[in-house]
Structure 1
Amino acid sequence: MRFLVVEEDEAQAHQIKVALTEQGYVVDVVIDGEQGWAYVETFTYDLLLINTSLRDLNGIDLCRCLRNEGYSVPILLLTVQNSSIDQVTYLEAGADDHLVKPFTPTELFARIRALLRSPRRANAPLLHWNDLHLDPVSREVTYQQKPLSLSPKEYSLLELFLRNPKRVLTQSAILEHLWSFESQPNEHTVRAHVKRLRRKLQSVNADKIIETIYGVGYRLKPPSPELSKQQADIAPAESPETPAELLSVKSNVSQGSIAASSDLPVSRERFKTIILNRIQTLEETINNAQTFTSELCQNAELQAHKLAGSLGILGLKSAYQLAQNIEQCFIEGRQTPQTPSLIDTLKTLIALLYQELQHPFDEFEEKIPVQSEQESISKQQTSFQVLVVDDDLELTEQLKQIAIHWNIQLNVTTKLEEARVALRETPPHLVLLDLVFPDHRDGGFVLLEELKYQFPELPVLVWTVRDDMSDRAAVARLGGNAFLSKSVSCDQVLEAIKDILQSTSTAPTKILAVDDDPITLNCLQELLPSYGLELTVLDDPRLFWETLEKTGPELLILDLEMPHFNGVELCKTVRSDRSWNALPILFLSARKDPQTIQQIYQAGADDYISKPFAEAELITRIFNRLDRIHLLRSLAETDPITGLLNRRRSTHDLHRYLHLSRRHCQPFCLVLIALDCFQSINNQYGYTVGDSVMRQFGQILQRHFRDEDIVAHWGGEEFIVGLYGSYQSDGAKRITQLLELVQMTVFPVANHVQIQMTMSAGIAAYPEDGMDLSSLYAASNAALCQAKASGGNCFLTLSSDSRSTV
């Protein structure tokens, strides 16, 4: 496990690091709050130990900032102050616990163990996988009750796997978790430690627990089918080794992350029907041999090709070979006159195919997973689900009506017992909780405590009429994410809900798969989500462009032969569009001849995999494509100094937002921002310091604005922000807050020198100040020039001639 110690007393920081390292933890040490913030943004930690008395950004403010950003890792404050007022301050800032200096290593270890086994981290302290057990408290590892002796690094590696049972861990992720920033080795070290850990496991006959996903990383090997029911209940969803196994297990993959087409019901009978229909079509063509034409042969060849692909995906290898032989016969029949021997061969192959499929079809109903109607509905549900626990029906009804426009669905319960039932049956994305109920004045506190034990990852926003310090401290101590008084507006409540949900959710990589074969699509649905990929499937190529623009995928998977539009035509269409021509495209096809493969690559494909495909090969190809496109996109679209979008990429996004504003009659604000007197910083301290200030200012902008806002650096001291859905008054409010934030920020430069900066801004609103990007930019630039001329540290809006300063 990896900890960060933020302590300005270097001697004490060294003592803490040595003590924790001896306990097997990986420890990074920084000496001030600004460095602590930078490390938290860069690396992943399991616990933070922060001194309250830091220079610049003190420990309490750092803790508060981290919690405001949605950072949920446990925080232990180290302090010399321990009055009741101080304790309330620590809890209000979001700390999980505090430790008074001076303290002994024994006391420190006890506090850390208590935090690590708290409900926020896990439901149970004991980690296990089949017969392998790891106790984080005693640091003992056993397999089938036999002790296993591991080195500290081997223990940490095994613990990392057990804490992430459903995740494929890349070598870089393992390095990040198990080694400190200063002593991080290369990836060869990871392979060596995995090899040694496997050897230790093999010594107790547990040699098949960790498996390699070639080209990706390592994961825990899914449990064997002989798992007891109790083990199966706690084991994570099995990720099959090959497509053949995809249909031999019930689907345990979470359906919430899959956006599937509603017209693709995955039913047992449909797969059987599809395959039988294709065989019957071939049989009818063969029986009518006297009417054989080139067109009929071509259609039969296509049916045989589709049949082979489906059978290969299902893992029916013998049937797959027979279907390929049938396809080859029709290819020959199209090129040469049909002979009685060719007809006899086709009839024999069809009979053998029926015979081969007789037994698999008997077991089909056990192999194909059923998608219930409820699962189908849940896949299509894209709005956030929020459970409101409040007996004020008038207020909650008002909130419910407004929430529709925020893409938030509220489910209201007025009683605590009803809330407990609703949480068990349909867990929401967030709970909005009142503290006071008629039959139980402190009922909200009781439910909040239950939630943090039963649903440790579920965000809770408290919204109540009780607003004194003791209530706020109690909510913070019990793990509430935010506290709002009922004096705030409904829009402010919904904005807080949206902020919490966006900060706690991670956006998976989106993939669009287009194939008219539902068997292939179902296999992809079973496989890809377990690797954190969000899959949208489409079986009708006529809806391709509409679906592409709606989903915005990062990778496209195409079948070669489909009705209406084939894969090559779709690929060429994508490559000819300026907005999508860089989209990675991967083909899946049962055809393996050189001419077809050449045709695919000439159309613009990035990669090709033949059906049937192996899981490891498909996943490796997908992640290799994604890694490469992310790297190229980052280099082409990111400003190297600030890390923000560059002018080229942001211009494209701003045009897109303006197009949406015109189409949907939505407001839009364009804000032009510049640091005041920035050239004097370059002249006095040099361009290296100037770049550092620009980088820090870019980070401030990223944290201040929403994820959906466009924040970019257009060169020099000029930054631009696009606010879709915001009126001029909304933009003015955001910039006023930004002015205050920048003025309070201290920018550290070389030799412990610190400087303070101010900024100026100009705001232009659509459609009042312009109908396109060029006119809005001219208006915002004119406002910015006026703001600078008036002394800076302010913003102006041309349309209202308003001026705001700090």
Structure 2
Amino acid sequence: MTAPSDTFKTRKARLRSAFLAQLPQRISEARLRLAALPDTPVEPEALTGLALVFHTIKGSSASFGLAAISDLARQAEDTVRHALTAAEPMSTQVRATLERTLDQLAVLQARPAEETNAADRFGFEPLPAAAEPAVVHTGHAAQRRAKRIYLCDDDGDLGQQLCTQLACFGYQVTALSSLAELRAAVAAEAPAAVIMDVMFPEGEHAGPAALTDLHETLGYVVPSLFISSRDDFQARLQAVKAGGSAYCTKPVKTTEMVEFLDALTNRESPTPFHVLVVDDEPNIARLHALVLEEAGMTTTIATDPAAVIDLLKGFNADLVLMDMYMPQCSGPELARVLRQMPGHVSLPIIYVSSETDRERQFRALEVGADGFLTKPVEPARLVNEVSLRAERMRTLHALMVRDGLTGLFNHNTIMQFLEIGVANARRDGRPLCFAMIDVDRFKRVNDAYGHPAGDQVLMALSRGLRLRLRECDVVGRYGGEEFAVVLPGVEVEDGKVILDQLRTSFAEVLFYAGDATFRCTFSAGIAAFPQIASADALIEAADVALYSAKGNGRNRVETASANDRSRSQDPIAAEHANGQ
């Protein structure tokens, strides 16, 4: 197995040393609590506090591989919990047993080197391959798709047509009309993906054969998409045997091809999971955070449960990893607090505790937690458990905030982003543009070609918007065939240029409905902050500008003025309703 990074080893060893340095204080605290216990029946709170000290020593030492210390602390905790259950005065014999245990802990704490090997074995095993940190892109999305793609088809006109269509979605594709041209192009520059026909003058399966040769030349498999007028099993089988990743039949639907290319060429790392680690033992909190960070996650730590709510306001957590036993506020109590807050009802919670009693674990889970991990937790299991539940959280959240057809943000979410964008622009003294986009004569598309064709148009426009705009821009489906775009940091003149480029590209996209082909256009209205000072006013002004674009002939972008009012207040706007 590959050894984990020295940095990880060094940081974990430092945390272990810090825990051992603080252990005498923990032992002293236990002595003081034990000495303060009366000979009469003991108040439950006093025994609970003593049990918690031993519990913390048990779990922390186990996490750092100090098995002997953990076993002694476990025995002492069990003894105290038995006394708590009996509700009787603590006998002299029990006190003496606990005193001996504390003496033994002090001895082991003073010479932990004997457990070094055991400590090294736990937590220093190779972790799952760490995800690459998410790259923050600030440029135009078309630049992110500027990867070399070769399209090889002996029908030169079709090749050029497809290249033009794919360019509308931000892809730069080089058309090649023969297998010889493909070989020469590959020799000059290796491609990020290949699109090619199945049949060539060299043979009915010459395309797959050429792709196989290409893979042998490069020494690796290139993402590839076959296009062909053939839809029989043998053609598809040969494409698969050659390593083809996708297959489109002619006439090729551009939107379908774009979906495949998105999947084949988009190798950007996903946004790291955000995990809030809650544990009153700082070294254990840092240890768990260290393990998760090694796996590519982003973490923040809370050692005081009272700080969790404020931390969550500024940290978009995908999951909370929390200790079960903490002073003043236990894990289950903190979970109940979070579950009473609407924004955190579905936030995944995983307990990490040395508690092994199944009944206590079950009671802790009853308050709405999603999992229970027992200390010491193997790093691989910690990473897997957190990843699975955080991914589920993101999936559920996406279903709530995104439109099912286009994958864009839904109406409510895009409006929230506009409010946030205006607030940020006002605070930073920066401009912002808000645009409303509407597909021209969309009702006629549905009537003439059917709703599936209309859906194809909406998906093409949504994908084009996502690919051609910046990472910081926010795109949503406002409703029906209307879309909304928030462009932070953009002056109105620049915003109009951006939308005009999008409009021109979209007008070139060819759509298919059975044997028929057609094109669509869109109109847009754009309004700017700070010329228009509020989110509501921006919406109204952009809406009026959109109406003006429709009235002035469609397939154009109009800019709003601060005096524009919503077309909903204009009786003559009714004739332009419903996508006309």
TM-score, normalised to structure 2's length? 0.64
1:276 corresponds in structure 2 to 24
Q: Using the alignment, how far apart are the partners of 1:596 and 1:727 within structure 2?
A: 59
| Equivalent of residue 370 in structure 2, options 589, 600, 606 | 606
Q: Structure 2: 5+ residue runs without aligned partners?
A: 122-132, 139-187, 191-265, 565-580
What per-residue deviation string (whole Å, max 9, x for no partner) do you get for residues 345-379 of structure 1?
Answer: 2112223334455543466699689xxxxxxxxxx
The code of the aligned residue for 1:707 comes to E
Deviation at 1:785, TM superposition (A): 1.2
Mapping of 1:340-419 within 5 angstroms? 340-357=92-109, 359-361=111-113
Q: Is residue 619 from structure 1 mapped to residue 383 from structure 2 by the alignment?
A: yes
Secondary structure at 1:786 match in 2: helix
Q: 1:763 aligns with which of 502, 520, 526?
A: 526
How far the C-alpha of 1:732 sits from its partner, in A, is 2.4
- Describe the superposition over 1:419-453 as per-residue Cα deviations: whole angstroms up to 9, x where unpaired: xxxxxxxxxxxxxxxxxxxxxxxxxxxxxxxxxxx
Deviation of 1:674 after TM superposition, in Å, equals 0.7
Tell me the equivalent position of 1:312. 62
2:89 to 337, 347, 355: 337
**1:375-524 equivalence runs, <5 A:** 506-524=270-288
Distance 1:365 1:627, change over 3 A: closer
AA of the residue aligned to 2:406? T
Query: 1:690, CA displacement in angstroms?
Result: 1.1
Alpha-carbon RMSD across the aligned residues, in angstroms, is 3.8
Aligned equivalent of 1:791: 553
In the alignment, the residues of structure 2 paired with residue 341 and residue 565 of structure 1 have an alpha-carbon distance, to the nearest angstrom, of 32
Spell out, residue by residue over 1:308-354, the C-alpha distance to the aligned partner (whole angstroms, 9 max, x if none): 11012123334323212212333344432121111012112223334
- Percent of aligned positions with the same letter in both sequences? 26
Q: What is aligned with 2:513?
A: 750
Once the 2 structures are TM-superposed, how far is the Cα of residue 542 of structure 1 from its aligned partner? 4.0
State the match for 2:76 in structure 1.
Answer: 326
Read off the aligned partner of 2:510 and give its amino acid letter.
F
Query: In the superposition, relative to structure 1, how do residues 382 and 770 fare at CA in structure 2: closer, same or farther (>3 Å)?
Result: same
Q: Which amino acid aligns with 1:328?
A: D
Alpha-carbon distance in structure 2 between the residues aligned to 1:733 and 1:514: 48
- For 2:67 and 2:104, locate their aligned partners in 1 and report how far apart those are by CA, in whole Å: 13
Q: Distance in 2 between matches of 1:282 and 1:775?
A: 64
Amino acid at match of 2:18: R
The 3 A distance-change label for structure 1 pair 512 and 368 is farther
- Higher RCO, 1 or 2 (CA under 8 Å, sep at least 6)? 2
Structure 2 counterpart of 1:571, from 335, 342, 361: 335
Q: Which runs of 5+ in 1 are unaligned?
A: 1-221, 224-235, 239-249, 256-263, 370-380, 386-405, 407-476, 480-501
* Structure 1 counterpart SS, 2:453: helix
1:651 and 2:415 correspond? yes
Partner Cα distance (1:732, 1:566) in 2: 55
Q: 1:762, 1:787 within 8 Å by CA — same for their partners in 2?
A: yes
Over 3 Å counting, the alpha-carbon distance change for 1:742 and 1:547 in structure 2 is same
* Counterpart-to-counterpart distance in 2, 1:776 and 1:337: 72
Cα distance between partner residues in 1 of 2:398 and 2:515? 32
* Rounded Cα–Cα distance in structure 2 between residues aligned with 1:283 and 1:361: 24
CA distance in 2, matches of 1:579, 1:733: 38
- Structure 1 residues 740 and 383: alpha-carbon distance in aligned structure 2, compared to 1, 3 A threshold: closer
Counterparts in 2 of 1:176-187, with a 5 A limit?
none
Deviation at 1:775, TM superposition (A): 3.5
Contact map agreement 2:532 2:562 (CA 8 A) in 1: no
Q: What does 1:64-143 correspond to in 2, within 5 Å?
A: none
CA distance in 2, matches of 1:384, 1:641: 27
Residue aligned with 2:415, SS: helix
Taking the aligned partners of 2:17 and 2:383, their CA distance within structure 1 comes to 29
Q: Which amino acid is 2:95 matched to?
A: I
Deviations 1:83-130 (A, max 9, x none): xxxxxxxxxxxxxxxxxxxxxxxxxxxxxxxxxxxxxxxxxxxxxxxx
Name the CA shift for 1:653/1:336 in 2 (closer, same or farther; >3 Å).
farther
Contact 2:134 2:270 in 1 (8 A): no
Deviates more, 1:705-714 or 1:266-275: 266-275
Which residue pairs with 1:634 in the alignment?
Answer: 398
* Greater mean deviation of Cα atoms: 287-296 or 761-770: 287-296
Q: In structure 1, what is the Cα distance between the partners aligned to 2:73 and 2:118?
A: 24
Contact 1:760–1:795 (CA under 8 A) maintained in structure 2: yes
| 1:113-262 matched pairs, under 5 angstroms | 222-223=1-2, 237=4, 250-252=6-8
Could you tell me which of 703, 712, 726 is aligned with 2:467?
Answer: 703
Letter in 1 for 2:559: T
**For 1:790 and 1:563, how far apart are their aligned partners in 2?**
69
Distance 1:769 1:639, change over 3 A: same
> Could you list the per-position Cα deviations for residues 541-567 of structure 1 after superposition, in whole angstroms to 9, with x for gaps in the alignment?
343233323331212111223346443
- Counterpart of 1:714 (choices 459, 464, 478) is 478
Q: Tell me if structure 2 keeps the 8 A contact 1:746–1:754.
A: no
Distance 2:325 2:267 in 1: 42
**Cross-structure match for 2:51:** 301
Letter in 1 for 2:382: L
Greater shift in the superposed pair: 550-559 or 659-668: 659-668
CA contact (8 A) 1:696 1:747 kept: no
What letter matches 2:401 in structure 1?
A: E
Stretch deviating more after TM superposition (608-617 or 670-679): 608-617
Q: Are the structure 2 counterparts of residues 663 and 560 from structure 1 closer, same or farther at C-alpha, using a change threshold of 3 Å? A: farther
CA drift of 1:751 comes to 4.4
The answer as to whether partners of 1:266 and 1:522 remain within 8 angstroms in 2 is no
How far off its partner does 1:530 sit? 4.0
Instruction: For residue 608 of structure 1, report the CA deviation from its aligned partner.
Output: 1.9
Give runs of aligned pairs for residues 14-29 of structure 1, distance below 5 A: none
Select the residue among 322, 337, 344 that pairs with 1:558.
322
Give the deviation of 1:382 after TM superposition: 12
TM-score (norm 1): 0.48
Task: Deviation per CA, 1:710-761: give whole Å up to 9, x if none.
Answer: 2111331111112233343443232222223223x32331346443322111
Give the whole-Å Cα distance in 1 for the aligned partners of 2:371 and 2:415. 30
- The one of 539, 543, 546 equivalent to 2:310 is 546
The count of residues paired between Structure 1 and Structure 2 equals 427
Query: Distance in 1 between the 2:287 and 2:460 partners?
Result: 46
Distance 1:318 1:579, change over 3 A: same
Contact 1:770 1:779 in 2 (8 A): no
- 1:551 and 1:268 mapped to 2: Cα distance? 27
